[in-house]
Structure 1
Amino acid sequence: LSLHPVSVLVLKVNEVSLGIEVRGEDLAVALQAEELSLQQLGTVGLWQFLHGQCSDISFQESSALKTDHIRPAVGLRFEAGPGAAVHSPLATQNGFLHFLLRGCDLELFTSVLNGLGPFLEDEEIPVVVPMKIELLHSRITLKDDIPPIYPTSPGPVPITLAMEHVVLKRSDDGVFHIGAPAQDRPSAEVPKSEKRQSAKEQMFLVPTEEAFGQLVKELPTLQKELRETKQALADANQEKDRLLQEIRKYNPLFE
């Protein structure tokens, strides 16, 4: 047990806000943190870690500046229910996850990434959860902390990934798509569901008084559209019944 190696990564978040919104069958849980830092102990012995004998390593400050309440360093929002259908049809059943990482400079060891594999394994095939991951003005540096095979090897060079704005989406079929944000694409390529979304700065917060007031203003228009849709559906059903009656005049056995 004392020789069993484990990879240790500790995340630290400051000034965390949590909001839960329930409207009928719709549920939304939003979490945001203004600062994010991490502590990596690398690969250490399990017994050593459990008894707190690891060397004290200071936290990396991954957020260069302290952000305000509208621009969080980390944002997480999960939606479920009929209202989540604006993201994807499967989201009504399995939910929709939106994750945002902004202005962070992280340094990760490869041993930490290798340790995520067994951590994510399960005895059952996991359900597909549609999601959207956004990385804004962030840098991720990967360092190989595995001992080299040859003693004279200088070791691998760290790899740094700098991202201005990258969007990673997971569709209902489980496929991940890497693309640009909506404002960087031609208007013809932007889905209507993205055009109707609120400003990006407000998406992780439970609606504020101003945002709620905007929703109240849009309510009559939405109610009118709903009435028109219901009327169109009723007219279509009446036309369907009329056509069925007309067909049965010539073919009584038609079903």
Structure 2
Amino acid sequence: MEVRGESTAVSLEVGCVRPTQLGNVSLRQYLSNRSLGMVPTAQGSTILPPAPGSEGGGLEANSDGTTHLPEVRARLESGPCAAAHSPLAETNGFLQLRLHGYRASFLMSSLRNLAHFLEDDSAPQVLPMEISVRDTHIDLKDDGPRDNPSDPNPITLHISNLLIHRTDDGAFSIGVENASEAGPKKEVQLIDSGLSPVPESVVSSTPKATQTPSPPSPSTTPSNKEQLLIEENECLKLELSKAKMALAEAQMEKDSLLHRMKSLKVNSS
């Protein structure tokens, strides 16, 4: 913490952040393990030991002698010193957050439950901020109820370089850090390069499943009988296409019912 006159700055460094998530647990499992000092999770009950190196921040030494930078760095400034970032920061403050080299796994249920803490009836106070994210790997796993007993594969999110700004009007802008040199060059290329004209092409409106070559146009106008035959042929093609689509939908419903019956048998056994 640093205080200079009316200016105040508070800094925080966290070397390692490992989230603890309960996941979707039953009420019986939660109540049975609550009295034992254990934390019920979706995978089982575990006792939370104190994380090594969780106290304090700064640089940590690895086994090979190299230093490990903190995963999370935060700095909150207020007062006249924060006016260098934006005019509103002098009164509301300015937040700088650095998330570098962070790796973690999150359950989708944990992210959904965060919405209850973000909802607020009153208008929040605008806090100008700058968030920098580099070399961050996050695995998202869906732990919700599913008809299929097999577990879904987690979704891996990799953020190599991301910069988020919040201005005095409350708007967020997303960009890339240290992209000022490459920015004007790319912008010129985007301005100079125009869209190439796309040649017009005629697409037949006849369905592909029943598409047949159109009859050759005779030199003379077809008679009324031939015209009726052509219209009747097109109507038959349309009815055949509808019948094929209905048959395909019925087959899909049949496969879905068989899959559900198999899953119910597996769960009951």
Settle same-fold status: TM greater than 0.5: yes
* Maintained 8 Å contact 2:15/2:72: yes
Q: TM-score under structure 1 normalisation?
A: 0.56
* Maintained 8 Å contact 1:34/1:69: no
* Maintained 8 Å contact 1:106/1:141: yes
Partner amino acid for 1:56? T
* Maintained 8 Å contact 1:28/1:80: yes
Match of 1:56 in 2: 46
Match of 1:186 in 2: 181
Q: Deviations for 1:117-154, whole angstroms, at most 9, x for unmatched residues?
A: 11223342111111111111110111111111x2x364
* Maintained 8 Å contact 2:15/2:71: yes
Task: For residue 173 of structure 1, give the secondary structure of its aligned residue in structure 2.
Answer: coil
Q: Distance in 1 between matches of 2:165 and 2:75?
A: 14
1:22 pairs with 2:10:
no
Q: Distance in 2 between matches of 1:104 and 1:79?
A: 24
Please show how residues 1-255 of structure 1 align to structure 2 within 5 Å.
20-44=1-25, 45=27, 47=31, 50-51=34-35, 52-53=37-38, 54=40, 55-56=45-46, 66=60, 71-148=69-146, 150=147, 152=148, 154=150, 156-181=152-177, 183-186=178-181
| Cα 1:79/1:50, change in 2 over 3 Å | farther
| Cα 1:135/1:49, change in 2 over 3 Å | farther
Q: Distance in 2 between matches of 1:105 and 1:30?
A: 22
Structure 2 unmatched ranges of 5 or more: 53-58, 185-269
* Maintained 8 Å contact 2:60/2:68: no
Match of 1:238 in 2: none
* Maintained 8 Å contact 1:39/1:57: no
Max Rg structure: 2
Structure 1 unmatched ranges of 5 or more: 1-19, 190-255
Q: Distance in 2 between matches of 1:178 and 1:171?
A: 11
Which one has a larger percent strand, Structure 1 or Structure 2? Answer: 1
Q: Distance in 2 between matches of 1:86 and 1:47?
A: 52
Q: Distance in 2 between matches of 1:77 and 1:69?
A: 21
Q: Distance in 1 between matches of 2:144 and 2:74?
A: 32
* Maintained 8 Å contact 2:13/2:73: yes
Q: Distance in 1 between matches of 2:114 and 2:33?
A: 18
Task: Among all aligned residue pairs of Structure 1 and Structure 2, give the percentage whose two residues are the same amino acid.
Answer: 40
Considering only aligned residues, what root-mean-square deviation do their CA atoms show, in Å?
A: 3.1
Task: For residue 39 of structure 1, give the secondary structure of its aligned residue in structure 2.
Answer: coil
Partner amino acid for 1:114? R
* Maintained 8 Å contact 1:40/1:57: no
Q: TM-score under structure 2 normalisation?
A: 0.54
Partner amino acid for 1:176? F
Tell me the CA shift for residue 86 of structure 1: 1.4
Q: Distance in 2 between matches of 1:110 and 1:99?
A: 24
Q: Which has the higher contact order (CA 8 A, sep 6+)?
A: 1
